[in-house]
Amino acid sequence: MRPISYSRATDAAGAIAVVSADPTTDYLAGGTTEIDLLRQNVLTPRRLVDINELPLAGIDDAPDGSLRIGALTRMSEAAVSPLVRERFPVIAQALEMGASPQLRNMASIGGNLLQRVRCSYYRDAVSPCNKREPGTGCSAIDGFSRGHAVLGTSEHCIATHPSDLAVALAALDARVHTRGQDGEQAYGIDDFFLTPDHTPHREHPLQHGELITTIEVPTAPVARRSMYLKVRDRESYEFALVSVAGALSLVDGTIADVRLALGGVGTKPWRAHRAEGVLLGASADRESFASAARTEMSDARPTTFNAFKVELAQRAIVRVLETLKANGSPA
């Protein structure tokens, strides 16, 4: 591992100033992905500023029913929060299906959104990879791409965004609040994650040194009847091949409100706007569910190894909608 200097931040403004001033300095939060990648020479900062002692943990309940989740709240803390479980079960489920208990005890909510892709070619520090070394090419497109994306891909990168939490947040129109040299910012979650296009090394719009402080989840009565379905080979400790975050509200058998987002298939947490468009106002039956799923996946660009995801994602969408429908009206 490269020699690295380490310091512990005691106030946010100081930390932001230090990191912003030096492109070779990075923040360290839970470290559950970052340390692995440092050891493998995939990330190569010279300095780390540990932000774990900054007062950015905890979950606040706003009068309007929205939640503000501090960026340093641990995944396990957020998952057990009664506020989260009651209002946004899809978030709690997504958190509990991510990683392992040990990792969830360490990993922060802010870090979860910024976790790096699981593409083996990115992580081996050797293969050509446009995300790690822009301009070297993408090894995955002609390589082993079973876990890779079919939506939002480009000829430069097909890596899947790995977060489960971000899929749930995408379905709920969460906002990411940050603080940087230029003051505070807020990003809609859909704008926070970038598709690779020509710049796969750019995964989000943050300036270097801009620090995530809070995740805001706006009030959403529909989310009380929400769920997260994660399809994977083994029961625990595996990233999604396909996942679906969904919420559904029916009035007289007609879809009055619906939220859908996909994981495991997109280069970013994939809000299924087109499927939602088909569903809103439609009757809640298998035919509309299937039609919505087909519409959402119609632009998919699969490889030999991940072609099954196009069909699997549609089936997972239908399964989630049918399950939500069968579960009855929200309390």
* Residues making contact with another protein (CB under 8 A): 1-3, 39-41, 118, 120-121, 123-124, 126-127, 139, 142-144, 146, 231, 233-238, 241, 308, 311-312, 315-316, 319
Please report how close the Cβ of residue 149 comes to another protein at its closest, in angstroms: 16
Both structure tokens of 168: 């749930």
Please report how close the Cβ of residue 136 comes to another protein at its closest, in angstroms: 13
Both structure tokens of 271: 């809000």
Give the integer Cα–Cα distance in Å for 212 and 207.
Answer: 11
Nearer to another protein, 220 or 316 (CB): 316
Please report how close the Cβ of residue 45 comes to another protein at its closest, in angstroms: 14
Give the integer Cα–Cα distance in Å for 29 and 35.
Answer: 10
C-alpha dihedral, 293 to 261 to 185 to 111, nearest 10°: -140
Nearer to another protein, 47 or 319 (CB): 319
Task: Report which residue type is found at 6.
Answer: Y
Q: Are 114 and 166 in contact (CB under 8 A)?
A: no
Give the integer Cα–Cα distance in Å for 8 and 126.
Answer: 32
Nearer to another protein, 10 or 236 (CB): 236
Please report how close the Cβ of residue 283 comes to another protein at its closest, in angstroms: 21
* DSSP string computed for 90-103: HHHHHHHTSS-HHH
Nearer to another protein, 127 or 288 (CB): 127
Please report how close the Cβ of residue 237 comes to another protein at its closest, in angstroms: 6
Nearer to another protein, 175 or 309 (CB): 309
Q: How are beta strands 242-251 and 183-188 bridged, if at all?
A: unpaired
